[in-house]
Amino acid sequence: MSRPYYQSQDLKKFKNISDWSPELGAKFFEYYNSVFEEGALSAREKSLIALAVAHTVQCPYCIDAYTQDGLQRGIERNEMMEAVHVAAAIRGGASLVHGVQMMEVYDKRSM
């Protein structure tokens, strides 16, 4: 297959997922749009959370979309980078906390 797995123009076709399942697609996008409305958290805060999660799930479409969304909202680059570090800290922490399991197995099996 010569087509790369990820192509930036595919982001614009996201809505096309409704073509093969209109009812579920409509439900998903209605839910999606509701999630990002102003609520107990501001839409700005949600945008930064989305950016951090985008890095956690390593979705290039989401990173593109929420970097641009942040620019439109006036979110600054240091704020975006801090959000990415939150993602990195949780991902790194998630690996490291398993070190406790490693240590316990090691200690249990060792003389």
Partner 1 sequence: MSSKSLRSRSHRLSSTQAQLEWLEKGIFKPGGLPHFATKVNGFQDTPLRPHSLDILQLNLGYMCNQVCAHCHVDAGPDRKEMMSETTLEKCLDLIRKTSIKTLDLTGGAPEMHPHFREFVSQAAQLGIQDLIVRSNLTILLANKKYVDLPEFFKTQNVHVISSLPFYKKDKTDRQRGSGVFLKSIEALKQLNAIGYGKSETNLKLDLVYNPSGAFLPGNQKSLELEFKKALKTDFDIDFNQLFTITNMPISRYLEFLIASENYEEYMESLVEAFNPSALDKVMCTNTLSVRWDGYVYDCDFNQMLDLKVDHTMQHIDDVIPEELVQRNICVSQHCYGCTAGSGSSCQGSVV
Residues that bind partner 1 in the complex, under the rule CB under 8 A: 12, 43-44, 68, 71-74, 76
Beta strand spans in the chain (E): none
* Residue 12 Cβ vs partner 1, minimum distance, rounded to whole Å: 7
Q: Which is nearer to partner 1, 8 or 58 (CB)?
A: 8
* CB-based burial, 65-76: b 16+ in 10 Å, e otherwise: bbbebbeeeebe
Name residues whose C-beta falls within 8 Å of residue 53's C-beta, 6 or more positions apart in sequence. Answer: 62, 87
Q: Which is nearer to partner 1, 12 or 109 (CB)?
A: 12
3-state secondary structure of 48: helix
* Residue 70 Cβ vs partner 1, minimum distance, rounded to whole Å: 9
Q: Which is nearer to partner 1, 34 or 95 (CB)?
A: 34
